[in-house]
Amino acid sequence: MKPTVLILIILLIISCSDTDKTVALTGEIINPTEEMVWITINDSMRYSTRLDENNKFAFELKIPEPNKYRFDHGGHTFVFLKPGSSLHLTIDTKDFDGAISYDGTDLEENEYLKKSILISERLQANRFNIPNLNESEFDSLITNTLGVWKNSLLAMKNIENKQYSRFRAAELKEINKINTIANDYYKSMKRLTPGNKAIDFKIEDIYGKEYTLNDFKNKVVCIDVWASWCTACLKEMPYFEKLADKYTNHNIVFLTISVDDKADTWKKLLKARNRQGNQFWANGGQISDFFKNYQLRDLPVYILIDKKGKIFKSRASRPSENLEEAIIDALNI
């Protein structure tokens, strides 16, 4: 064989191999929030392109292996791509993950990713309700979220192929990680599940007078836990005060407890905002027993204790949402 022919064959093989790694990723953004879209390959290589006048985009990429890759436009999602993929996305930013649709290759893998993202979001949305579940209810939640996620992964027809090994391993690792976090959180909240005796606490008013849970016995106790640095807490305060006014003549007391680290910070905000009602401070803030015993990592937190001193809900809805429904249930009216 002549050397020139051999060189041509080698170049053709290299060219074909390079072409096989090329991915055509196109799409359309409905209700765009900016001009650009981005795709991230292996965390270190980020490509961008501009939407055209019809809010469409196109990438031609070279990717190393079948895997999920991050796509950004005012929010983010993941798309599955492999060498030779040709995928078209349609994304509505008003329902970023729920409304995404696909056309082209690797549809099974991308539908799986969509389902896994929605499951993860559902579990995240349920995190405040987890402490209110008994063991059977918690197990059911895990089965219907992480169990479904894992089964969907393992049911894909290509998942056992060698080239999918990193994708498969990473997905199983993510599922196991979330499962561990959820179970550890549930165990840490066991003392706060409905029906358990509420853990006593010490709080003080602006004059330094100390109170305990026993000072409010034989009443339903509704607690708003907040801090001056928590924007969501401040937004919810007017709604909480309206509920307190509405249920003045019922057997319930509304307590607003700050977990600011310093009393002066708490008092200054009360004065600046002219806060009314039963205002208290957990001495020590985030190192107080109240903060630790009630696992107050995410603020604001709303707690309902029944008139027998038992937990009714250690994580109730916000006042601007459905807290009133829980109050009505606790009062049995």
CB 198 within 8 A of CB 309: yes
Give the residue ranges of DSSP H helices in 103-250: 107-125, 135-142, 148-154, 165-188, 231-246
Q: What is the pLDDT of residues 188-206, one digit of tens each?
A: 899 999 999 999 999 999 9
| Strand ordering across the sheet containing 45-50 | 45-50, 36-41, 67-72, 76-81
Report pTM: 0.77
Residue 10's pLDDT is 40
- Which domains are delineated in the chain? 1-103 (2.60.40.1120), 106-188 (no CATH), 202-331 (3.40.30.10)
- The two tokens of residue 15 are 């060219």
Residue 237 CA to residue 254 CA, distance in Å, equals: 12
CA separation, residue 300 to residues 71, 234, 333 (Å): 32, 9, 26
CA torsion through residues 271, 224, 119, 131, sign: positive
Residue 241 CA to residue 87 CA, distance in Å, equals: 52
- Does residue 264 register a pLDDT over 80? yes
Residue 9's pLDDT band, with cuts at 50, 70 and 90, is very low
CB 39 within 8 A of CB 61: yes
Q: What is the pLDDT of residues 18-64, one digit of tens each?
A: 446 789 999 999 999 999 999 998 777 899 999 999 999 999 999 88
Residue 206 CA to residue 281 CA, distance in Å, equals: 8
Mean pLDDT, rounded, of the chain: 91
